[in-house]
Structure 1
Amino acid sequence: VDYRTEDGTANAGSDYEFAEGTLVFKPGETVKELTVGVIDDDIFEEDEHFYVHLSNPRVVHRAEVSVLDPNAVSPGNSIIGSSHVPPKAALGNAHTATVTIYDDDHAGIFTFESNSTRVSESVGIMQVKVHRTSGARGKVAVPYHTTEGTAKAGEDYEEVAGKLEFLNDET
């Protein structure tokens, strides 16, 4: 039985590895496996799918059938006739499989560029950088606010609060 992958919303070469070939079942075998590589691209996407089709079933060996005469007296006269009967192979209803690739790219981990920053009192305005790592899936809002340490709000700095917005695929 031949098999071949086909693009759906997933594309061969960027989402999965194209595959085609032939599965050969030996006498008595009822299950075979084929392998299709899935490509982890670390890009936010909707879940995607592709197809695997089975086609061209064929039988490699032929069978011989003999009809025996139940009234034959000697073994030499017992065969009435014989014939080569080609075994039949056919595809069942489920000869196309849909394979769904679930996107596992995460929203990310948000961290400060540094866990400690020193600035001069005369700096005026300072900026703190936030990095998004280990994923960039979707639009994400990260709330922030200042908290007092040895510096006091209203005396040493202006208290601020808000949210940083990261767009899909923005790091």
Structure 2
Amino acid sequence: MTLSNPSANATLGTSAATLTILANDTPTVGFSSATYSANEGDGTATINVTLSNPASANVTVNFAATDGTATGVSGSCPGSPTAVQDYVTASGTLSFSPGDTSEAFTINICNDTGDEPNETVNLTLSSPSANATLGTSLATLSIADNDPPAISFQSSVFSVNEGDGTAVITVILSSSSSGSVTVDFAAANGATVPAIGVTPPPPTCPASPTDTQDYVIVSGTLTFLPGDTSETFSINICDDGNDEMNETVSLTLSNPNANATLGASAATLTLVDDDP
């Protein structure tokens, strides 16, 4: 503000001054985002909370981290966390000193070794001090799994009628992979009442199989393309004309590549006799 042009019977003294307009808006306290993310192997997740404008006095607000789809533990992560020990529950109070507009709290993340879906933690703010109001008071922390999927037989037991001709064996991934997954498979004579395999070539049953020609021995490699969770291989079954006991074939998986681990790697195929 300025003064100027006094009349002839006056002179100017202090002709300039400043008016300061003091903001009296109540600041709003809230999460800086509605969603946060952390990798399971990061160890911690930092959650930022902001004040819409500085306050002239301390502002406080309570925070809490509770179970969404993730499961919390108290105190600290165990030395070898399981799939139901995902993070350390947290609660407390944040304090903004005069002039501050940003504070943060930390959540400890437990790095287990089990393949599992990405999981969530619910974040809440509550009970701001009288000189602030609540803004975004709810948010979600997503914990991204960092463990490779497990590859397994779909079942530990399969069965097929001797006259069916083929047995289809299903192998599954516990979750899809971003890279290709390979695993070796093999079918061999069973341990209990073993079926007797025919060694290829050719990879077919004889025209008139005997009671010691029950199936065609098979081995190979399955490939799961990115996004796939199920693959199969087939075993040719030889239909002889002899009455015999039900017999078994041993199934194994081995040598997964670096994008997967082995889960249930052994199974049994039972050949059900169909001869009177």
Per the normalisation by structure 2, the TM-score is 0.33
Structure 1 160/169 Cα, relative in aligned 2: closer, same or farther at 3 Å? closer
Matched, 1:7 2:49: no
Q: Counterpart of 2:140?
A: 98
Which of 183, 207, 229 is the equivalent residue of 1:142?
183
Task: Please give the per-residue CA displacement for 1:103-146, whole angstroms capped at 9, x wherever unaligned.
Answer: 110248xxxxxxxxxxxxxxxxxxxxxxxxxxx9648651379x
User: Aligned partner of 1:3: which letter?
Assistant: F
8 Å contact kept, 1:43–1:169: no
Structure 1 29/50 Cα, relative in aligned 2: closer, same or farther at 3 Å? same
Q: Counterpart of 1:31?
A: 102
8 Å contact kept, 1:138–1:168: no
CA distance in 2 between partners of 1:31 and 1:58 (Å): 16
- Post-superposition, which runs of at least 4 consecutive aligned residues in structure 1 deviate over 3 A? 136-141, 165-169
Q: Matched residue of 2:103: which SS? A: coil
Q: Matched residue of 1:32: which SS? A: strand
User: Aligned partner of 2:72: which letter?
Assistant: A
Deviation at 1:168, TM superposition (A): 7.5
Which of 123, 132, 141 is the equivalent residue of 1:89?
132
Q: Counterpart of 1:78?
A: none
Structure 1 25/106 Cα, relative in aligned 2: closer, same or farther at 3 Å? same
Unaligned runs of 5+ residues in structure 1 are: 60-87, 109-135, 146-153
CA distance in 1 between partners of 2:219 and 2:262 (Å): 24
8 Å contact kept, 2:123–2:138: yes
8 Å contact kept, 1:57–1:90: yes
CA distance in 1 between partners of 2:175 and 2:263 (Å): 9
Deviation at 1:53, TM superposition (A): 0.5
Deviation at 1:162, TM superposition (A): 1.6
8 Å contact kept, 1:44–1:168: no
State the superposition RMSD in angstroms: 3.5
Unaligned runs of 5+ residues in structure 2 are: 1-60, 74-84, 151-172, 187-200, 202-216, 222-252, 265-276
Q: Counterpart of 2:263?
A: 170
8 Å contact kept, 2:116–2:175: no
CA distance in 2 between partners of 1:138 and 1:28 (Å): 48
Structure 1 142/4 Cα, relative in aligned 2: closer, same or farther at 3 Å? same
8 Å contact kept, 1:55–1:91: yes
User: Aligned partner of 2:71: which letter?
Assistant: N
Identity of aligned residues (%): 34
Aligned pair count reads 105
Q: Counterpart of 1:67?
A: none
Paired residues for 1:25-64 under 5 Å: 25-59=96-130
Whichever structure has more strand as a proportion of its residues is 2
8 Å contact kept, 1:138–1:169: no
